[in-house]
Structure formats: structure tokens, C-alpha cells
Amino acid sequence: MAIGVLVSGSGSNLQAIIDGCADGTIPGQVTIVISNKDGVLALERARKAGIATAVVENSRAGGREAFEKNLAEVLERFGVQLICLAGFMRILSPWFVRRFAGRILNIHPALLPAFPGLEVQKRAVAAGVRFSGATVHFVDDGVDTGPIVIQAVVPVVPGDDAKSLAARILVQEHRIYPQAVRWYAQGRLRLVDGKVVLEGGDGVVNAMLDEGKKAWIYPPVS
């Protein structure tokens, strides 16, 4: 399966997907990495892995419509079958989402539907929640509102701040995002009438240990 990854920053989740493809966990290949910003670390990660890169910047003349048409053209030129947003700091329009319906995944560092948007770890700590985590979901017309594929739950421990919580969540992001991509590339994961269908899941919660802290993954990785 040809995978395209959209990035805006360091690309640690991009690296997790690249590694999954390289070791055979994901039966696919990242064929193109596209950033809306030049010079970001994610582009360097792609180049080191021998993956084609492109920078599609927002044009003041053409605005959002021109930007997304250029983005779509590059993705289609590289035969992309699945689009993964990995720290991509742009909201995609309904036009773009419809064009690639059921083929766009995103990773969000919170337990959606709680804390959509930005600064989520700071908001979670301020709210006094006892658990947070990460969510992989299909992208729809809203902001972090699409159908949920897989979630990882981590505890918020005494003394946590936004930085420490984000670091604990990131470890789980690197586990569940490649898992969701793997399911999709295997043909087990799809979107049907706006609902997630995952074939072959056993419905049992899988507890994973990370640095002495429990992280609950659902559906279980398999």
C-alpha cells in the first residue's frame, strides 16, 4: 500500500510509520512526505529513509483552495492510497476530506472526544483529569471529530505538567499509529457509513507496560 504522510514539524510519528514499513510490520511503503513548511525535521527524516519529499506552502494568491489542490495533485501523482496526518498543522476542508473519503487518518494526543484542538496536555492537567492518552481517528469535516480507530490510555500522575504528560503519551502514539496503519494496509480497517469496521479484532483490552506505568490499548494490538 502506498502511504502519504503530511507533516509540519519534527515527525516522530512519521518515523514510527517509516520504521513499521521497514521492518515489515506495516505491509506498505511511504511513497511521499509532504510538509506545509520547509526546513522541518520531518523532511530530513524522510530523506534519510530515501523517501520523496515535497513542500506545499499556502499561497497568498490562491489561498486554501489552491493549497489543497496542489496537495491533492502531489498525493495522487505518487499513487497514495492512505494519507496519514502526523503533526500536520492545517485544518483540511470538506472538499479535501470528500476527495479522499475514508482514506485519511490522524493522531491526536488526547482521549477524544475530550480535549480536541491545541495545547491538549496543558488543558488536561489544568482540568485535573486522572487519565489521558492518544487517539487515532479517521478525518472528517470537523476538528478532531472523526470516527475513532484506536486509543491508548495513560495515567496522569502527581506532579505531571504538560511536558511530562506529553512525553508519556508520545510513547503510546508511536505504538498505536503504526498499528492503525497496519490494519488499514492489511485491508482489515475501513470506514463504512461513517462507522469504523475492524475485522479480526477479539474485543479484549490489552494492558501494556511502559516505564512502570500501565497503558491500556483498545482495540488490542494484534
Q: Annotated active-site positions, please? A: 108
Closest CA to 131 of 221, 213, 220: 213
CA distances to 2, 82, 85 from 69, in Å? 20, 17, 17
Which residue(s) pair with 197 in the sheet?
190
Count Cβ neighbours within 10 Å for each residue of 120-149 and write b for 16 or more, e otherwise: bbebbbeeebeebbbbbbbbbeeebebebb
What is the residue whose three cell numbers read 519534527? 10
